[in-house]
Structure 1
Amino acid sequence: MGPERVIILAVIASSLISMACAVPGIATFSNPTPLPSACYGSQVPSTLFAAVNPDLYNNGTACGRRYRIRCTGPTNENVPQPCRNGEVVVTIVDLCIACQPDQFDLSAEAFSRIADPNAARIRIEYNEA
């Protein structure tokens, strides 16, 4: 087996392992996104960011952490097929005090990359990137 095949197999295996360790959760989005954020003020690092529930936020230790998020399905009947292919990597910039355990409140741009914004709330899988 040539080195190219070994590299390709390693990339495929790492992708499968990372999503196999994914945690189920819920994602919502805020539009417009509230600023300033608890972690960065009004200077958020990108347009792909999120606020997280108090457990994940952990008194601010989550600031700057990056999470890979993938839509897995709907939470309401109004949009039965909300998911778009792919995943998004977001940076944690704030606390979502009203969020439940394993809930992310994504920026509008991050949400729209993985799901139809009309859904407003979706099922996800996530893991730290």
Structure 2
Amino acid sequence: MSTTAAPVRDAATCCAAPLTAAPLDADEAARLAHVLKALADPARLRLLSLVAAADGAEACVCDLTEPVGLSQPTVSHHLKTLVDAGLLTRERRGSWAFYALVPGALDAVAGALQHPGR
């Protein structure tokens, strides 16, 4: 059974158009800041890259603790932050949780930061 979180503030909804195309309203700015804040941590960036580079583009939390050198509860906290930001999905299989990159989430963030026409 999938327990994929449905984020309130996800990458796709905050990153539909480049920042420079039009001024952000307060809600759009808050959504984008939420996603960027999730990315603004070295451990979370490493976890995101580990998940994206894993076989099948998904990884079990049990395989992510050693590479980042953090405890399982700390890794789970960071992964939850990435799920809540709409960057990863989470699926429970037995006693383990597996994480995968949300398709297009990083492209949406990159697109929001690009200047139109470049």
Report if TM-score (shorter chain) is over 0.5.
Answer: no
Scaled by the length of structure 2, what TM-score is found?
A: 0.31
Larger radius of gyration between Structure 1 and Structure 2? 1
Give the number of the structure whose residues are more often helix, by fraction: 2
Give the number of the structure whose residues are more often strand, by fraction: 1
Scaled by the length of structure 1, what TM-score is found?
A: 0.29
